[in-house]
Amino acid sequence: MISIKNKFKTSAFAALAAITIFSACNKAPEEILGAAPIVPSGLTIAATLAANPSDSLFNKIIVKAGMVTALSNVTSSYTLFVPDNAAVIASFGGSLASANATIAALPATSLALIVKYNMIPQSLPTSKIIHPFPNLQMPTDIILDPTNPLVRMTSFPSKSGATGTTFYYNNAPLTAVDAVVANGIIHHTAFVVSPPSRVLKDTIARVSNLSYFRAAIARADSGQVGLGKLDSLLNYPVVNMTVLAPNDAAFQTLVFGLAFKSYLASRPQPYTATDTAIATATGNGAVAAGPVFLSTNNVTTAQVKGIMAYHFLAKDVSTNPAIPVFQPVYRAFSVNFPATPIFVKTLVNAGVAVHPGILAKATYAGPFVSALTFSSYGSLISFPVQPPFSYTANTVGIDRLAVNGIFHIIDKVLLPQ
Amino acid sequence: MRKIKSYLVTLTLANLMALAAMAQNVTISGNVRNSASKENASAVSVTIKGSDAGTFTDDKGNFSIIARSLPITLVFTSIGYEPKEVAVSSASTKLQVEFIPSNSLGQEVVVSATRVPERILESPVSIERISAANIRNAPSANFYDIVSTLKGVDITTSSLTFKTPTTRGFGGSGNVRFNQLVDGMDNQAPGLNFSVGAIVGLNELDIDNIELLSGASSALYGSGGMNGTMLMTSKNPFKYQGLSFIIKEGIMHTDHSERPASLYNNWALRWGKKVSEKFAFKITTELLQAKDWIGIDYRNYDRSAGVLKPGSRSTDPNYDGINSYGDETTADLRQVLNGIAGAAPFLAPYISTLTGNPINVSRTGYTEKELIDPNTINFKLGGSLNYKINSGTEAVLAGYWGTGNTIYTGASRYSIKDFKMGQYRFELLNKNWMFRAYTTQENAGQSYNLAATTQNFNEAWKVSGGSSGWYAQYGQAFLSYKLAGLSDADAHNSARAVADVGRPKVGSDQFNTLYNTVRKIPVPKGGALLDRTDLYNVEGSYNLSRYTGTFADVLVGANVKKYVLQSEGTLFADTAGSISINEFGAFAQVTKKISDALKLTASGRYDKNENFDGRFTPRVTAVYTVAPNNNIRLSYQTAYRFPSTQMQWINLDLVSYKLIGGNEAFRQIYHFDTNPAYDRDSLRLSNKNVKQDFGQLKPESLTSFELGYKGLQLSQRLLIDVYGYYGQFTDFLARRTVVQSKTGAATVTQADTLNGQIYSVPINATEKIKTYGFGLGFDYRLPANFTISLNAASDNLKQDLVNGKSSLITSFNSPKYKLNASVGNTGFGKDKRMGFNVAYRWQDAFYFQGDLGSGNVPSVQTVDAQISYKLPSTKSILKLGANNLLNQYYYNGIGNSYVGGLYYLSFGYNIY
């Protein structure tokens, strides 16, 4: 019996030991691991540029601007538009020496703005540069309002050009694209894309041969308040507009024509030589009066307002096709206009939705625009009767960039009717 | 009133006459003790052979019994002893009876299998029994844990005091397919639909026995019991007398993984007193206090698909942790971002590059550990007044009341706080008939839903919507960080930090004040449940065998049941007033002994609920005795259940979705006729609009076949119990998630799976649901009181698959295999005072489906052990025990508490 008991005790303890071992392995709820996050490998943007001799000038800019840390952060993601050395030289004086001198001369803050303006805070391969006319508006690393980091200066990558197959950053053709690095993508630009520093109003105010244009804006704004005034829009930093600004000569032509026609309209036909001479003198007098002509009762506010509205490009932002709402909400660089003429709407469409707009056409020399024309529906020349869109303005000042838009200086005042 | 008076007069006269008669009788007194240990044997049945007269020994083993004349023969019987007959020819001397302990197996008598007493070996269906002695010798600190060691039993552990058993599948914290009866009373909280036997009911000192019927058992016990019925029977104060108490002091959380080590305090007391041969009473009480186990499953959960998913708070902005609350609130950030794009057109193109796909973001949650009050308290108070109207009839007035805090797992985790429930019964017991009336009075107290409370707490701190709300702040910050070049993950985490600035810190006055305010506000604005549902039941049975015995034994019975739902609209659709639900049922059972070897039993039951068609459930069983103490059983059983009170009338807004009942009234309440609801999964996965039909629900039924063998082998030292079963459900009751357009549209789109109104609705499955399995158990008595037990079981589900996938959430929740093994001794060493028991349990891994979460539950192994020392002079036991001896934390349901070791030392006085 004792033997049995001892055997049993031995067995029991053996069993206890066995289950002790077995039971020491209950599992706790463990986090389910999904696909492991992809750890970026390779060089960062900053390291890539530092390692590439052909980017040494822009790398110098980055270093001086104090942007190496930001562009070395492997957990961030940027697209950087980089002018290679040739592009920097072309933009900064035409020689390596002048380029270095320019870089040395510019303060770090200015260089930082250049770098930041060429940074888009996400990885943007060219395959994602998909957009309707004119381009893709993307935020840069420049914060316009220090109290609100969402308010950023924007830039405009696009797939445009003569055949619609060339990539641009603003109006700078991309010379090499889609270099994927650890923290983003590098595209190379044909020249240094610098950020604007002024709004349209300020920029236009600094152009001497746009005095008539400014006077016309002031006249058109009569009775308007707030952002209903074109002047306010031109001064508002977070809008995005394309303005066609006729130069003074264009306005003088318009003023002459209006005064000339106005006098003749008071005379019985057929006009005599005297009538024509007086009309010419009247026209010259009106031109001699300068921009103030547009402030007088020689023209009505409605006339000026209609003409000015015709120079602000617009598009329908309504979600209801039956009730279009046209607003000046895009920025069209010259390279965004195709070689095949297209109609673009204007603020005239805000009042007359069916108005055909302006016929725009770009002529290309390689990736660059050599000529940009805009044809209006109406014409200053009434005899013989001109067909619509035969009255064409040439761009004499192209791609004038501002914080809140772009303007092209044209040599004729476009008439909506 | 006049009738009562005349009854009392008659009763008094009858007693006086009885007293007069007693004067002429002979009183025999004596003492019974264990022949081996010389300990007094209490609660031993003492009857006069050939008569109805009988009594029990008291806690000191003494008895006295009155005989009309001498000589007589006294019969002494008790479980664990050999029956003994003693001839008495003189009353002049006190009898000293030496009661010989029995080591034989299978001699226990069970009642629940057929509602009439019979040896467990001869039961026609699978049945398990736990005696008071089993409880004494088990290592489990809580007698509910012993149930898990029974063959084929699965336990779902919500918390320390909330354990829910089941057999043959369909386990869960609120298991409505498994009945728990305490002294014949349904222990289910009638409104909350979970049984609260561990909280309100018997304390371990008052348990006479627990019988567990595996599988279908409606034919005798009515609605429910699809997967078994557990019947807990308390000790009768006539039989079990004296003062008993047990003090259990333990320690938990010894590894400090959930919280610092804390005490486990459990004190129980029972006092039974036979005042006279006619009257006895008992009082029981128990207090338990401990720091509860908590849920620590922080895995990420996809609530729309009902599956666990990769990710954590730092890697998934839409993280929704199982045991993290408040993060159920989710929204698509694109709404905010698109708003920004509208206000700032210069950002619109950039934003459009971010919003190609939904950007779902959840509010920041709090963990269960941060939210739950871990202080589990349970106080039970019970008692009965027992009066023997005559030698064959006993009246019982009894009540069990309990209150406390615990944690329950349902659609969320619930802090059951200051919960109160009382069960009160009046009973007349006769050997031939029984009448019982009882009521269950439930009060949810300050119970609250953790998820709803925390979601509303978050809203109370900072609203989700609006231009300055949490999501607006998050969205603007997210965009800012994206514009700063951050990755999505970093931008999300940084944005969350911005939106969470000022978030109340756990434990701060701000947190406590706000949380305590919100949890007391009824859902859906807060988290409180105000349930005060009641149940009233009257039932009776009559054994006609004395009239029909020559042909067959016949038992008939009936019951009437009434639920009164009262939740003030916080749980049920009862804002207009209480809702009543009436049921009635009747049964009959015929038992015929065809020969000495074959006994057939046929029974049938008809039940009717006012909201459903009536249902007849037959049962036929056969027991064939192949040899003495060796029986083969075969049964065909049916079971059914009416949809629970919640399945009929629940109307619970859980913020993320609404849990509603199947009563036709909901069609009008939620306008389903004009604004239909559609199956969400069909919409989400296949973009198909499958309209939900809100037809009348039907009761669920189960047809089951079982073949088993129970017998003694190896000179009756080995008890073998083997069974196999197969069951098929009809009109299986389940839930389905549907979606309704919030705009009132007649159809829905895929976007509505996120933006629409989500409902969980009860349905009758059309799919075939089948279950099958087997169990086998061996109990072996070794020499010198050593015992060894081994049981194993397997439960399986077979259901229709559509395209290789289950189209129905069945919540089968049963491991395919499970095994229990134990070795013990109830008396060894000097004077056989030492005892020990070591129990090992293993269960297979299985896929758990629950309203809170679904996922794989890994296999679990636990070891429980105890060593004890008896103090015979006071019939006391010192016990040193451990549950989960190796402190190997485990969980047996998704979202449930993570259970570790409990080590205790107990002293029980007068407990054997």
Residue A31 vs residue B424, higher pLDDT: B424
Radius of gyration, alpha carbons of chain B: 30
Average pLDDT, integer, range B431-450: 94
Would you call B311 an interface residue with chain A, using a CB distance cutoff of 8 Å?
Answer: yes
Judged by a CB distance cut-off of 8 A, whether residue B891 touches chain A is yes
Judge whether residue B5 has pLDDT over 60.
no
The arithmetic mean of pLDDT across residues B25-47, rounded, is 87
Predicted pLDDT of residue B50: 84
Name which of A24, A32, A149 is nearest B310 (Cβ-Cβ): A32
Contact B486, B498 (CB under 8 A): no
Cα dihedral sign, B562-B567-B572-B577: positive
pLDDT in tens, B96-129: 999 888 767 877 888 888 877 888 999 999 999 9
Residue B17 predicted with pLDDT over 60 = no
CA distance B569 to B528: 11
Share of chain A above pLDDT 90, in %: 74
Are residues B346 and A136, on separate chains, in Cβ contact within 8 Å?
no
Three-state SS annotation for A279-299: HHHHHHHHHHHHHHHHHCCCC
Find chain B residues with C-beta within 8 A of A5's C-beta.
783-784, 786
ipTM: 0.85
Band the pLDDT of B804: cuts 50, 70, 90. low
The predicted pLDDT at position B224 comes to 80
| Distance of alpha carbon A230 from alpha carbon A239, whole angstroms | 12
Question: Token digits for B320?
Answer: 């929704």
DSSP structure string for A165-195: -EEEETTEEEEEEEEEETTEEEEEESS--PP
Q: Give kind and range of the element (H or E) at residue A91.
A: helix A85-91
Q: How far is CA A273 from CA A205, A269, A279, A414, B463, in A?
A: 41, 11, 10, 29, 81
A246's CB contacts (< 8 A; 6+ apart) are: A212, A213, A254, A311, A393, A409, A410, A411, A412, A413, A414
Contact between residue B136 and residue B143 where contact means Cβ atoms under 8 Å apart:
no
Q: Which residue of A has its CA nearest to B295?
A: A29
Q: Above 50 in pLDDT, residue A71? A: yes
Provide, rounded to the nearest whole percent, the portion of chain B with pLDDT above 90: 70
Host H or E run for residue A49: helix A45-51
Query: Tokens 């108490």 appear where?
Result: B245
Nearest to B858 among A27, A70, A121 (CB): A27
Residue of B341, B315, B327 whose CA lies nearest to B476: B341
What is the structure's pLDDT at B766? 86
Question: Are the Cβ atoms of B898 and A139 closer than 8 angstroms?
Answer: no
User: What are the Cα distances from residue B277, in Å, to A91, A395, B58?
Assistant: 117, 121, 12
B347 near A CB under 8 A: yes
**Is the pLDDT reported for residue B805 higher than 70?**
no
Q: Is the CB of residue B300 less than 8 Å away from at least one CB of chain A?
A: yes
Residues of chain A with Cβ-Cβ distance to B823 below 8 Å are 12, 15
pLDDT in tens, B356-393: 899 999 999 999 999 998 899 999 999 999 999 988 89
Predicted pLDDT of residue A406: 97
Phi, then psi, of B452 in degrees rounded to 5 = -65, -40
- Chain A hits for B297, Cβ within 8 Å: 29
Give residues 477 to 496 of B whose Cβ lies within 8 Å of A. Answer: 479-480, 482-487, 489-490
Mean pLDDT of chain A, nearest integer: 90
pLDDT of residue A299: 85
The 3-class SS string of B608-652 reads: EECCEEEEEEEEEEEEEEEECCEEEEEEEEEEEECCCHHHHHEEE
- Segment B418-422 shows an average pLDDT of 95
Using DSSP, state whether B878 is helix, strand or coil. Answer: strand
pLDDT of A31 reads 66
Q: Are B638 and B216 in contact (CB under 8 A)?
A: yes
The dihedral sign for the CA sequence B122, B125, B130, B131: negative
- For residue B340, give the chain A residue with the closest CA: A150
Between positions 268 and 297 of B, the ones with CB within 8 A of A are 296-297
Question: Looking at CA atoms only, how far is residue B886 from chain A in angstroms?
Answer: 7
**Quick count: other Cβ atoms within 10 Å of Cβ B805?**
8
**Chain B residues 437-476 with a CB less than 8 Å from chain A:** 476
B138-156: pLDDT as tens digits: 999 998 899 999 999 999 9
Nearest CB to A137: which of B349, B858, B886?
B349
β-pair type (B757-764, B658-660): parallel
Residue B910 has pLDDT above 80, yes or no: yes
pLDDT value for B427? 97
Q: Judge: B346–A149 Cβ closer than 8 Å, yes or no.
A: no
Question: Which pLDDT score, from 0 to 100, does residue B182 have?
Answer: 95
User: What's residue A12's pLDDT?
Assistant: 55
Given B485, B840, B859, which is nearest A19 (Cβ)?
Answer: B840
Chain A nearest-CA distance from B851, in A, is 18
A358/B183 Cα distance (integer angstroms): 94
DSSP codes of every residue in A199-211:
-HHHHHHT-GGGH
> What is the distance in angstroms between the Cα of B819 and the nearest Cα belonging to chain A?
12
Would you say residue A9 has pLDDT above 70?
no
Q: Which pLDDT score is estimated for A387?
A: 75
DSSP string for A337-351 = S-SS-EEE-BTHHHH
Q: Work out the average pLDDT over A210-231.
A: 91
| Chain A residues inside the 8 Å CB shell of B490 | 75
Q: Token pair 């990539």 is at which residue?
A: A167
Reported confidence tier of residue B18, pLDDT bands at 50, 70, 90: very low
Mean pLDDT confidence for B425-433: 94
Kindly write down the DSSP assignment for every residue of A224-282, as one continuous string.
--GGGSHHHHHH-TT--EEEEEE-HHHHHHHHHHHHHHHHHHTSPSSPPHHHHHHHHHH
Distance (Å) from the alpha carbon of B299 to chain A's nearest alpha carbon: 5
- Residue B80 pLDDT level (bands cut at 50, 70, 90): confident
Task: Tell me the nearest-neighbour CA distance from A195 into chain B, angstroms.
Answer: 16
Tokens standing for residue A320: 């209801």
- A18 CB neighbours in chain B (<8 A) are none
8 Å CB contact of B486 and A76: yes
Quote the pLDDT of residue B9.
Answer: 44
How many A×B Cβ pairs under 8 Å? 141
Q: Quick check: A158 pLDDT over 50?
A: yes
Which pLDDT value is given to residue B22?
44
Residue B818 has pLDDT above 90, yes or no: yes
| CA atoms of A265 and A279, how far apart (whole Å) | 10
Helix and strand element counts for chain A (H, E): 14, 16
**pLDDT confidence of B2, banded at 50, 70, 90?**
very low
First-to-last C-alpha distance (Å) of chain A: 124
Total Cβ atoms within 10 A of residue A18:
11
Which residues between 857 and 876 in chain B have a beta carbon less than 8 angstroms from any beta carbon of chain A? 858-863, 865
Question: Considering only alpha carbons, which residue of chain A is nearest residue B323?
Answer: A29
C-alpha distances in angstroms, B184 versus A199, B197, B229, B559? 87, 12, 11, 12
Mind giving me the DSSP string for B789-827?
Answer: EEEEEEEEEEE-EETTEESS-------SEEEEEEEEEEE
Chain A residue nearest residue B309, CA to CA: A32
For residue A1, is pLDDT > 60? no
What value does the mean pLDDT take over residues B260-273? 96
Residue A321 in tokens:
């096709």
pLDDT at B3 > cutoff 60: no
Q: Note whether A31 contacts B838, CB cutoff 8 Å.
A: no
3-state secondary structure B833-871: CEEEEEEEEEECCEEEECCCCEEEECCEEEEEEEEEEEE
Q: From CA B898, how far away is CA B159, in angstroms rounded?
A: 8
CB contact (8 A) between residue B309 and residue A136: no
- The pLDDT confidence band at residue B337, using thresholds 50, 70 and 90, is very high
pLDDT, average across residues B397-412: 93
Cα A81 to Cα A187: distance, rounded to the nearest angstrom: 5
Q: What angle do CA B791, B625, B821 make, to 5 degrees?
A: 10
Distance CA B813, CA B796 (A): 10
- To the nearest whole Å, the CA of A255 is away from the closest chain B CA by 37
When pLDDT is averaged across residues A134-150 and rounded to a whole number, the result is 93
pLDDT at residue number A217? 95
pLDDT in tens, B839-886: 999 999 999 998 889 999 999 999 999 999 999 888 899 999 999 999
Closest CA to B186 of B613, B637, B557, B539: B539
Amino acid at B756: G
Contact A8 B889 (CB under 8 A): no
Asked whether the predicted pLDDT for residue B768 surpasses 90, the reply is: no
Q: Is the pLDDT of residue B477 over 70?
A: yes
Nearest Cβ partner of A139 from B483, B784, B858? Answer: B483
| CA distance, residue A339 to nearest chain B CA (Å) | 25
Q: Average of pLDDT values for B484-508?
A: 95
Residue B832 DSSP symbol: G
Do B858 and A26 make contact, defined as CB atoms within 8 angstroms?
yes
A4 pLDDT more than 80: no
- B124, HSE (Cβ side, Cα atoms, 13 Å): 28
Nearest of B844, B825, B838, B834 to residue B790 by alpha carbon: B838
| Interface with chain B: mutation pick from A115, A150, A183, highest number of B CBs within 10 Å | A150
Region for residue A295 given its phi and psi (left: phi exceeds 0; alpha: psi -120 to 50; beta: otherwise): alpha
Query: Is residue A10 scored above 90 in pLDDT?
Result: no
pTM: 0.86
Distance between start and end Cα atoms, chain B: 45
Q: Name the residue in chain A with its Cα closest to that of B341.
A: A150
Measured in whole angstroms, the distance separating CA A207 from the mean position of its chain's CA atoms is 20
Would you call B340 an interface residue with chain A, using a CB distance cutoff of 8 Å?
Answer: yes
Q: Chain A neighbours among B 820-849 (CB < 8 Å)? A: 821, 823, 838, 840, 842
Tokens of B7: 């009854």
Mean pLDDT, chain B, rounded, equals: 91
* Residue A223 Cα, gap to closest chain B Cα (Å): 26
Instruction: Classify burial at B796, counting beta carbons within 10 Å of its beta carbon; exposed 0-12, middle 13-18, buried 19 or more.
Output: middle
Q: Is B143 helix (H, G, I), strand (E, B) or coil?
A: helix
Q: Do B823 and A1 touch (CB under 8 A)?
A: no
Among A5, A23, A238, the residue with its CB nearest the CB of B888 is A23
| Tens digit of each residue's pLDDT (9 = 90 or more) over A25-66 | 777 777 666 666 666 778 999 999 999 999 999 999 999 999
Token representation of residue B494: 């940084």
Residue B10 has pLDDT above 60, yes or no: no
Pair B219, B619: CB distance under 8 Å: yes
Residue of B346, B355, B887 to mutate, interface with A, max A Cβ within 10 Å: B346
Q: Assess whether the previous peptide bond of B643 is cis (omega < 30° from 0).
A: no
- Rounded to a whole number, what is the distance in Å from the CA of A330 to chain B's nearest CA? 9
CA B768 to mean position of chain CA atoms: 26
Cross-chain residue pair A15–B823, CB shorter than 8 Å: yes
Grade residue A18 by pLDDT with cuts at 50, 70 and 90: low
User: Which of B297, B483, B856, B896 is best to mutate for the A interface (most A CBs within 10 A)?
Assistant: B483
CB A83, CB A193: distance < 8 Å: yes
What average pLDDT does the segment B257-283 reach?
95
Give B906 or A389, the one with higher predicted confidence.
B906
